[in-house]
Amino acid sequence: MPDGLLQNYIDGKFVDSSSSEVIDLISPVDGSVVGQSPVSNRTDVDAAVAAAERAFLTWGKTTPSVRQQALLKLADAIEAHSDEIVEAQCRNTGQLKAMIAAEEVAVSADQVRFFAGAARMVEGLSAGEYMEGFTSYVRREPIGVVGQVTPWNYPFMMAIWKICPALATGNTVVLKPSDTTPESTLVLARISQGILPNGVFNVVLGTGATGAELVDHPALGLVSITGSVRAGVAVASAAAQQLKRSHLELGGKAPAVVFGDVDITKAATGIAQAAFFNAGQDCTAATRVIVHESIHDQFVDALVEAAQTLRPGLPDDADAFYGPLNNVNHFTTVSQKISALPEHATIVTGGKQLGDKGFYFEPTVITGVRQDDAIVQDETFGPILTVQPFSSDDQAIELANGVRYALASSVWTKDHATAEKFSRALDFGAVWVNCHIPLVAEMPHGGFKYSGYGKDLSIYGVEDYTRIKHVMSAHD
């Protein structure tokens, strides 16, 4: 447990919040209090933004190679402090420690190195004479001070996804982590001392009210959030009032479309793992199985068998597949979605809390659902998988696309033509073929419709943190 009240990180130093409001940090493992965090106010936000503005005057003018070297050093520091990051995050999330180390810390270090290289590879149209007597070229410039809000499901990695493309392109950052999971972000801030110049990366702690103060700050050139649709709409609305740019990575309701030619056991195992990884607290998680009617019953049996082997457990449990839901409010919401199921839906496995301590929830498979059911239409963000049969390609496409979210999807088939057809037809920002959930730094992550706009990862994510300027010079 950290000693005393957590502090903000502003201008290269840890400082007390000017607010007297405090919230407890609760362990999802057993419900105990593991720390306290301030609820920062506008004074704190103003101080952080002012520090970022000062830092931008120099950081925004550095060469890409200078920014690359800083990010490479940060990646090395992340690896060197892996154990500390894991402990801090586990205290807030209850996630499996092995998962944090392998899937967040190690992966994040690799992603930092990608962004370090991408800092030197930003592209634009070549300089040339597009009008006789004039030479034109394009400048990609940093936007300025960027405000960012990260979620609680992958606190450390989401901080990396946010800050690194912004810093790589010369921006400075004020970041607000989730109120339930701030500690791994503060470790990141501490290990960045002496690597990133003071004021380049700032952290303010608090609740949604703190985030609203940050988003509303007139000095920001862009605001970026990973979170719920509700939060994304609020951020986009606030940003629109000042005509500042917004970058939104929001919810998902990913379908996995399964054809009758698959290896049933292999496909069911892969989809179950993609559904229950991190307790289903993943916006790209497989949530809806849309399976050909010819194998529906067999596939449900295989899903149940796979689900029953993927049990939750304590952070040090080497045999567990996932940890608890993050907080009591979310646990209550997931439980209520199960209790509100219509009579025609059938829970074939799971559907309730596991144990009498903490926020653990059983892996759950539900059949008999209809397209307009809330459990099909609304994001659950928990270890819940629904199953629907289809009889034709057109019906499969209609069911898959028939939700307001459009972040991720997958198609499972041995037929190449079918895979190609559905990669075009599925209206989602990502389509996996015979797999679901892997991400790589080189490829973009982001959705359509109510899943938001803008891209994380890849060169496209880097370009989102730049502005484009046309320069034209007369020859005479």
88-121 pLDDT, tens digit each: 999 999 999 999 999 999 999 999 999 999 999 9
Residues 231 and 298 in one domain: no
> Residue with structure tokens 């509700």?
230
Domain at 332, CATH number? 3.40.309.10
Determine contact, residues 325/360, Cβ cutoff 8 Å.
Answer: yes
From the candidates 104, 183, 213, 249, which is the catalytic residue? 249
**pLDDT of residue 1 exceeding 80:** no
Judge whether 266 lies within some domain.
Answer: yes
Segment 253-278 shows an average pLDDT of 98
Distance from the first to the final alpha carbon of the chain: 69
Task: Please give the pLDDT value at position 123.
Answer: 85
pLDDT at 172: 98
CB atoms < 10 A from the CB of 62, how many? 17
Amino acid at 358: G
Does one domain contain both 106 and 218? yes
88 and 162 share a domain?
yes
Q: Where are the beta strands (DSSP E) in 260-317?
A: 286-292
List of residues 6+ apart from 305 with CB closer than 8 A: 268
**Who's near 388: CB < 8 A, 6+ residues apart?**
288, 289, 290, 291, 369, 371, 376, 399
Q: What is the pLDDT of residues 456-471, one digit of tens each?
A: 999 999 999 999 999 9
Active site residue 398: no
Name the 3-class secondary structure at 453.
strand
pLDDT in tens, 305-329: 999 999 999 999 999 999 999 999 9
Q: How many Å apart are CA 470 and CA 66, to the nearest integer? A: 25
Separation between Cα atoms, residue 345 and residue 81, nearest integer Å: 47
| Tens of pLDDT, residues 30-69 | 999 999 999 999 999 999 999 999 999 999 999 999 999 9
- Does residue 438 lie within any of the structural domains? no
- Identify whether 439 is part of a domain: no
| Domain at 84, CATH number | 3.40.605.10
- Domain encompassing residue 191: 8-250+449-472
* Cβ atoms of residues 74 and 192 within 8 Å: yes
pLDDT at 3 > cutoff 90: no
Instruction: Encode 127-165: b = buried (16+ Cβ within 10 Å), e = exposed.
Output: eeeeeeeeeeeeebebbbbbbbbbbbbbbbbbbbbbbbb
Give yes or no: residues 275 and 181 share one domain: no
Contact (Cβ atoms closer than 8 angstroms) between residue 188 and residue 86 = no
How is residue 41 written in tokens?
């106010």
Mean pLDDT over the full length of the chain: 97
The total number of structural domains that make up the chain: 2
Would you state the pLDDT for residue 2? 62
Residue 444 lies in a domain: no
Does residue 393 share a domain with residue 335?
A: yes
pLDDT tier at 142 (50, 70, 90 boundaries)?
very high
Instruction: Looking at the structure, tell me whether residues 200 and 264 fall in a common domain.
Output: no
Asked if the structure places residue 199 within a domain, the reply is yes
Residue 164 identity (one-letter amino acid)? C
DSSP 291: E
**Pair (409, 423) in one structural domain:** yes
261 and 246 both lie in a single domain: no
Residues 230 and 222: their CA atoms lie apart, in Å, by 19
Whether 129 sits among the annotated catalytic residues: the reply is: no
Per the listing, tokens 């301030």 go with 38
> Residue 300 and residue 306: Cα distance in Å, rounded?
10
Q: What are phi and psi of 447, to 5 degrees?
A: -120, -165
Find out whether 16 and 6 touch, Cβ atoms under 8 Å.
Answer: no
Tokens in use for 354? 């596991």
Q: Is the separation of the CB atoms in 448 and 152 below 8 Å?
A: no
State mean pLDDT over 335-357.
Answer: 96
239 and 291 belong to one structural domain = no
User: φ and ψ at 461, to 5 degrees?
Assistant: -65, -35
| Chain segment 361-415, per-residue pLDDT in tens | 999 999 999 999 999 999 999 999 999 999 999 999 999 999 999 999 999 999 9
Model pLDDT for residues 187-244, shown as the tens digit of each residue? 999 999 999 999 999 999 999 999 999 999 999 999 999 999 999 999 999 999 999 9
DSSP 3-state of 322: strand
Residues 22 and 97 in one domain: yes
Q: Residue 440: inside a domain, yes or no?
A: no
Mean pLDDT along residues 13-21: 97
Burial 428-443 (b: 16+ CB within 10 A, else e): bbbbbeeebbebebee
Confidence at 124, pLDDT banded by 50, 70, 90: confident
Domain membership flag for residue 136: yes
Residues 168 and 265 in one domain: no
Beta bridge partners of 78: none
Phi, psi of 411 (to 5 degrees): -130, 135
DSSP 192-251: HBTTBPTTSEEE----HHHHHHHHT-TTEEEEEEES-HHHHHHHHHHHHHTT-EEEEE--
* Annotated catalytic residue within 90, 164, 183, 283: 283
Please tell me whether residues 20 and 160 are part of one structural domain. yes
The answer to whether residue 336 sits within a structural domain is yes
Question: Are the beta carbons of 225 and 454 closer than 8 angstroms?
Answer: no
Share of the chain above pLDDT 90, in %: 97
